[in-house]
Structure 1
Amino acid sequence: MKRKLALFLTAALAIGTLAGCGKEKEPIKIASKPMTEQYVLTEILGQLIENDLGVPVEITKGIGGGTTNIQPALLKGDFDLYPEYTGTSWMTVLKHEKEDDSDVLYENLQKEYNDMGLTWSGLYGFQNSYVLAVRKEAADTYGLETFSDLAAASENLIFGGNPDYMEREDGYPMICEAYGMNFKGTVDVDIALKYQAMANKEIDVTNAFTTDAQLAAADVKLLQDDKSLFATYYAGTVVRTDTLEKYPGLADTLEKLTGQISDDEMRNMNYQVEVESKDEKEVAKAFLIEKGLIKK
């Protein structure tokens, strides 16, 4: 009888220990917006966390509505963290007007997010902002470096953009008015065909994002927005503060990505997934190995 009781107590303790371990191993839940870049970033975050902390992660990719739906879900505790952009947080979440000084923006962003129980954990190094791309040949011919340079040469060039951008008040009409651009002609081009149209010399200039996958291979030049017309969209991690408290070491792990990803590197990873059809998990793993953040 005593032997049976002892065995029972031992088994009970073992089950209790396993249950406790299971509780400690509760997965960290990561969310992403519906775009390639975010799929890659969440894989980078997830693999790094699993490597450093030995904690499983649960990634939910492609949440419709992006920030609009992820932010409230994060506040509710449905997710623990996700990649976000400073300009989006500042203007879409906090409803502030554009702030041209990125340092001031980030400092105030951190304060207001802390008040919500959220933490901005560093910046990866790249930003996904609006920009204008010009055929390299045309940029060299007219010595184009800035939007103002483009304005001076615009009467010799053709602008091609997706219909939505051409019609939006904060799109083509805004840049033309702000910089005094007067292009020789304009063409509506499907968003997926813009860079092919440039390669065929059907258009000279188009709207782009700084980390567009196609830019990794296109023979184009990105111009500087010298009047700071567009907001800055530096990428970083937004994480629940109580999640940082729950998982010691998580803050240090997230900070390892600070300054690690350049615009070119993000473009290249997007290109590998979108154009070369590589799996984002493998692209993320290769990046982490190259940076020495995980071992093979």
Structure 2
Amino acid sequence: MNIKIKRRTIVVILAAVLAAGVFAGCGKSKEPIKIASKPMTEQYILTEILGQLIEHDLGVKVEITKGIGGGTTNIQPALLKGDFDLYPEYTGTAWLTVLKHEKEDDPDVLYENLQKEYQEMGLHWSGLYGFQNSYVLAVRKEAAEEYGLKTFSDLAAASGNLIFGGNPDYMEREDGYPMICEAYGMEFKGTVDVDIALKYQAMANQEIDVTNAFTTDAQLAAADVLLLQDDKSLFATYYAGTVVRNDTLEKYPGLADTLEKLTGQISDDEMREMNYQVEVEGKDEKDIARDFLTQKGLLN
């Protein structure tokens, strides 16, 4: 009888030890994945998409820190230190700002080399979402149709008949208005300084014909404009993707597969529309992210 009691006691103790070990392991695996974002609407939406998809697939909580001042300048060092696990980044920014290389015109060559150099830092690029947030020129659709404008070179040929309007800093920056004029030989009929928030209204009022823009500007989703092709590849490519720590990928099995689900899922038009819904229509980025993931079949 005593032997049985002792055996039973040992079994109970072993079970308790094993359970404690299991729960300790679970506690460790349940540490939240920390996601960072730059201070811009687009990044708020992207981090919500990443966070909701991770929580859905892995059952792991995420902590999102939105709007970090300085953007890449402060997020990259924090990522290297382990303060964050991942964040959305742009290939052009990584290549020019982080690695401080000269512009690379071939996006495939850039991405291949970017991946190699980031691996040396213990970081990984997990695919590309599909859209890029790059510099572009927008033209009133009526003007584009009248002069047959599709490319920057087309615009240069017709620039003497058109008025360019841009925000003051862009008009003065060396890599802004002066650079495109010199590179393409543009000589506009006139130029106008326009507040960045009012330039699309100025185009709608036919006060200006051309303006500088980013490919995923929210207002482009509603503006009656045409985006021109940079046919000389003057501007760097800024495809968006996820930068994640290698040790985070090791710590959370399945995370790599989850992140890759977003590869090629977001077009320029879709990103513009999501930005528009948050910035102009005042919708919550969490709701926009959930709707996007549901429409893509990534949430059950």
Match for 2:238: what amino acid?
Y
For the pair 1:117 / 2:159, whether they are aligned, the reply is: no
What is residue 288 of structure 1 aligned with on the other side? 293
- Report the TM-score when normalising by structure 2: 0.94
Letter in 2 for 1:207: N
**Letter of the structure 1 residue corresponding to residue 36 of structure 2:** A
Within the candidate set 50, 54, 62, 1:49 is matched to 54
2:197 counterpart SS class:
helix
3-state SS of 1:87 partner: helix
Q: Say which of 240, 245, 259 aligns to 1:240.
A: 245
Q: Secondary structure at the match of 1:192?
A: coil
2:75 corresponds, among 51, 70, 77, to 70
Name the counterpart of 2:109: 104
CA distance in 2, matches of 1:251, 1:69: 24
> What is the alpha-carbon root mean square deviation over aligned residues?
1.7
Where does structure 2 lack aligned partners over 5 or more consecutive residues? none
The DSSP-based 3-state class of the residue aligned with 2:200 is helix
| TM-fit CA distance, 1:87 | 0.4
Equivalent positions of 1:1-296 (< 5 A) are 17-295=22-300
- Name the aligned partner's letter for residue 32 of structure 2: P
**Shift, 1:131, TM fit:** 0.1
Deviation at 1:19, TM superposition (A): 3.4
Structure 1 unaligned regions, length at least 5: none
Aligned-pair CA distance for 1:24: 1.2
Letter matched to residue 251 of structure 1: A
Q: C-alpha offsets along residues 31-65 of structure 1, whole Å, 9 cap, x if unaligned?
A: 00000000000000000000000010000000000
Q: AA paired with 2:143?
A: A
Q: Over alpha carbons, which structure has the higher Rg?
A: 2
Amino acid at match of 1:26: E
Higher mean alpha-carbon deviation, 21-30 vs 216-225, is at 21-30
Q: Which stretch shifts more, 61-70 or 11-20?
A: 11-20
Deviations 1:190-226 (A, max 9, x none): 1011101100111000000000000000000000000
Aligned partner letter, 1:161: G
| SS at structure 2 position matched to 1:285 | helix
Shift of 1:80: 0.4
Q: 1:266 deviation in Å?
A: 0.3
Number of residue equivalences: 295
Q: Sequence identity, in percent?
A: 87
In structure 1, what is the Cα distance between the partners aligned to 2:215 and 2:265?
16
After superposition, give the CA deviation of every residue in 1:114-150 in whole Å (9 maximum; x if it has no partner): 0110000000000000000000000000000000000
Describe the superposition over 1:6-32 as per-residue Cα deviations: whole angstroms up to 9, x where unpaired: 989877765554333221100000000
| Partner Cα separation in structure 1 for residue 20 and residue 68 of structure 2 | 37
Is 2:29–2:251's contact at 8 Å kept on the other side of the alignment? Answer: no
**1:122 alignment partner, SS class:** strand
d(CA) in 1 for partners of 2:214, 2:125: 23
Q: Partners in 1 of 2:160 and 2:96 — Cα distance? A: 34
Between the aligned partners of 1:276 and 1:230, the Cα distance in structure 2 is: 30
Q: Matches of 2:74 and 2:12 in 1, distance apart? A: 51
